Amino acid sequence: MIAEAGHYALVLALALALIQSTLPILGSRWRDAALMNVARSTAIAQLMFVAVSFAALITLHVSSDFSVVNVFENSHSMKPLIYKITGVWGNHEGSMLLWVSILALFGGLVAMFGNNLPLSLRAHVLAVQAWVASAFYLFILITSNPFLRIANPPIEGRDLNPVLQDIGLAVHPPMLYLGYVGFSISFSFAVAALIEGRIDAAWARWVRPWTLVAWIFLTLGIAMGSYWAYYELGWGGWWFWDPVENASLMPWLAGTALLHSLVVMEKRNALKVWTILLSILAFSLSLLGTFLVRSGVLTSVHAFATDPTRGVFILLILCIFIGGSLSLYAWRASALKQGGLFAPISREGALVLNNLFLTSACATVLVGTLYPLALEVITGDKISVGAPFFNLTFGPLFLPLMIAVPFGPLLAWKRGDLLGAAQRLIGAGVAALIAVATVWAWTLGGSTFAPLAIGLAVFVIVGALSDLAERIGLFRVPLGTALQRAGGLPRSSWGTVFAHAGVGIALIGIVCETTWNSEYIGSMKPADVARIAGYELKLDGVRSSQGPNYREMIAQFSVRSDGRLLDTMTPSKRNFTTRGSTTTEAALLTRGVSQLYISLGDIADDGRIAVRIYHKPLVLLIWFGPVLMALGGMLSLSDRRLRVGAPKPAKSMRGLQAAE
C-alpha cells in the first residue's frame, strides 16, 4: 500500500511538473498573470508530492518491507535504524529519488521566496525548473522505479553494501546533491533570461544567493566525501582523481567561477554573456556527473551496454538539456546588451583571470575524465588516467591563480593600480618568504617544492588578512575605530577573507600531508612495537566481538610518545555475514591537526597481523580549508544585500533610469 502510494505520488508530481513546464510560459506569452501564477502553486504542490513519495520509500526501508525490490536488495532487518534510513539513497533508485526531491525542494523555495521576482521571470524560471524535473521523473518512473514489488517476497534482505554503512552516507550524498542540484536554479535563471532576452544587474543579485547556497553545500559535500573516503577505505588517501570525484569537482570549479563572475555582473553590469554561459555550464557539468555515475559507463563502456535503458535515457536528458540550452545561448546571447567597460588591470580584470584559470582547470579535469572513455570507444584500448596526469595539468593551472588571489580584492573596480596593490601586499610577501625560509631550513635537504608551495599558501592567507586590515585601517587608525569599522564591514567582505584564507589553509594541509606523510607497513604480533614519527605504537592484543550485523576483529594499540601513554587505538576488520564481505575500519588519533592512522590487513597463520600505520602531518587542514570556505560563503550569504528576497530592482531600477 505504501509503495503504491509513493509510486502514485511520484506520477502526480510528474503530471504537475508537466503543467508547470507549459502553462506559465503560455501565460507569459499572453501576459496572463493568473496563468503565470500557476507555476507557484504547482511548484509547491510538486514539492509536497515528491516529499510524500520520498517519505514512503523511507517508511518502506524502516519497516523492512522486503516485498519491495529496492528494500530487499539494499536492506536487512538487523541493520541499525540510521542505516535503514540512509540506505534509502545508498542505491541507484533511491538516490535518483533524492535527486528529484532536492530539485523539487529548490523549485518550491523559489516559488515561496521569489515573491519579489518579476512575475514573468519567476514563471519562466519555474517552467525551466519543471522541464528538468519532468525529465528526471520520467527517468525514475520508466527505468529506475524504487517502488517495484517482488512477486514472492523473501524473508530477509540482502543488506546494504558494508562500505556504505557509515554515518558518512547520512551526510555526504544529501549535501552533494544540494550542491549539484542547486545549480539547477542558476541554470533555470539563465535559460529564463535567454528566453526573455532581458538581463540586468538585478538578475545577478537574484541568482547569486542561490548559487552561493549550492556552492556552500557542494564545497562541504566534496570535503565530507573526501574525509569519508580517507577514514573508511583504509588507504589513507583523501583524493584519488577517480572519475566519480572528478564528476563532483567539475561543477565546483565552474560554480566557483560563476560566483565570481556574478559579482562582476552585479556590481558593474559587465560579463553578462559569459555569466549566462557559466550558469549553463555549471549545471551541465552536474548533469554530466549524474550521467557518469548513474549510467555505469565509468566501470567500463561495456557495462553501459548491459543495462542500456538507463544510460541511454540519461544521455538523452544530457543531450537535450546541454544541447538545447547551448543552442538557445548561441541564438539569443547576442541579444543581451553588453555593459560596463573596464581596463585589463582592475577588479573585473582579476575576476576574469580567476574565471579563465578556473574554467581551464575544469576543462583539463573534463579531458582527463572523458579521454579514457573516448579512447575505449574509438580504439578499444583501455587506459587509466590517474593522479600523475592531473598533477601535471591541474597543478600548474592552479599555481598562477593562487598567486593572483590576494591581488583581486585589492584592485579597484574599472581601473586598478597593480603597483599599489603589490605595495599593500608587501607584508604578505614578507610573511611568505619567512615561511619558505623557515620550512626550508627546518627540512633541509628535503623537497624544494614543498616550502615554496607553503610560502604560496601563507601568501594567500596573509594576503586575505591584509585585505581585511586595509579595509578597516588596522594600524593606521586607533584600534577602537578599526574594530568599529570591522563591525561595519559588509558581511560579504568578511566572506571573501574567510573563503580565500580557506584556500590557503587547504593548500598547506595538502602539501604537508603529501610531502611529509610517513608510513609503517609490517606484520606485528602482540607486544610488538612500531615506531613512527616519534610515536611508539604497541600492539596490546587482538580480540573479536559481535556487532548488530557483522563480526568484528579488533586490534588494540597503545600509543606512547616519549614513554608517556597518550591513548589507545582500536582499528578493526568487520566481516558482514549477509554479503560475505569485509571492511577495514581504520583507527584515527588526532594530535593537534595531525593524525595517526592505523588500518589492518590479514591475519597470518602464526597469529601475526599485517598493519599499516601512517603519520599524517597537518592532514586535518585539508578539510578545515573547505569548511572555512563554506563559512565564508555563509557569511556572504547573510549579507543584507544578498539576502534572499532583499533586492527590489524593478522599481528602483526604473527610478535610477528616470534620474539619469
CB-nearer residue toward other proteins: 392 or 422: 392
Binding status of residue 650 toward other proteins by CB under 8 A: no
Beta-bridge partner residues of 609: 524, 603
Binding status of residue 8 toward other proteins by CB under 8 A: no
**CA separation for the pair 267, 272 (Å, rounded):** 11
Cβ at position 379, least distance to other proteins in Å: 11
Site for other proteins in 207-226 (CB under 8 A): 221-222, 225
Instruction: Identify which range of 120-128, 169-177, 326-334, 560-568 contacts other proteins by CB under 8 A.
Output: 169-177
Binding status of residue 483 toward other proteins by CB under 8 A: no
Cα dist from 594 to 132, 185, 200, 518, whole Å:
44, 39, 48, 12
Q: Which grid coordinates are listed for 102?
A: 532536492
Binding status of residue 167 toward other proteins by CB under 8 A: no
Binding status of residue 364 toward other proteins by CB under 8 A: yes
CB 194 within 8 Å of CB 328: yes
Binding status of residue 182 toward other proteins by CB under 8 A: no
Radius of gyration, alpha carbons of the chain: 27
CB-nearer residue toward other proteins: 562 or 605: 605
Cβ at position 322, least distance to other proteins in Å: 18
Interface map 507-526 toward other proteins (x if CB under 8 A): --------------xxx---
CB-nearer residue toward other proteins: 33 or 604: 604
Q: Which of 28, 46, 53, 95 binds other proteins (CB under 8 A)?
A: 95
Interface map 538-577 toward other proteins (x if CB under 8 A): -----------------------------------x----
Binding status of residue 173 toward other proteins by CB under 8 A: yes
CB 173 within 8 Å of CB 89: yes
* Those residues with Cβ within 8 angstroms of residue 435's Cβ, 6 or more apart along the chain or in another chain: 451, 454, 455, 458
CB-nearer residue toward other proteins: 343 or 433: 343
**CA separation for the pair 250, 245 (Å, rounded):** 9
Binding status of residue 371 toward other proteins by CB under 8 A: yes
Q: Give residue for cell 519579489.
A: 116
Q: Which of 97, 176, 178, 508 binds other proteins (CB under 8 A)?
A: 176
CB 451 within 8 Å of CB 393: no
Could you tell me where the DSSP H helices lie in 478-584? 479-488, 491-516
Binding status of residue 91 toward other proteins by CB under 8 A: yes
Q: How many residues bind other proteins (CB under 8 A)?
A: 95
Q: Which grid coordinates are listed for 203?
A: 538578475
CB-nearer residue toward other proteins: 2 or 69: 69
Q: Which of 341, 434, 565, 656 binds other proteins (CB under 8 A)?
A: 341
Q: Which of 357, 407, 550, 624 binds other proteins (CB under 8 A)?
A: 357
Binding status of residue 108 toward other proteins by CB under 8 A: no
* Residue 332, helix vs strand vs coil: helix
Binding status of residue 356 toward other proteins by CB under 8 A: yes
Q: Which grid coordinates are listed for 174?
A: 544529501
Instruction: Identify which range of 19-27, 154-162, 405-413, 482-490 contacts other proteins by CB under 8 A.
Output: 154-162
Binding status of residue 580 toward other proteins by CB under 8 A: yes
Cβ neighbour number for residue 547 with a 10 Å cutoff: 14
Query: What does the angle CA 118 – CA 124 – CA 130 come to, to the nearest 5 degrees?
Result: 135
Site for other proteins in 268-287 (CB under 8 A): none
What's the half-sphere exposure (Cβ side, CA atoms, 13 Å) at 393? 19
CB 631 within 8 Å of CB 215: no
Query: What does the angle CA 472 – CA 476 – CA 480 come to, to the nearest 5 degrees?
Result: 60
Instruction: Identify which range of 35-43, 59-67, 106-114, 295-303 contacts other proteins by CB under 8 A.
Output: 295-303
Site for other proteins in 416-475 (CB under 8 A): none
Binding status of residue 392 toward other proteins by CB under 8 A: yes
* Those residues with Cβ within 8 angstroms of residue 345's Cβ, 6 or more apart along the chain or in another chain: 411, 415, 416, 417, 418
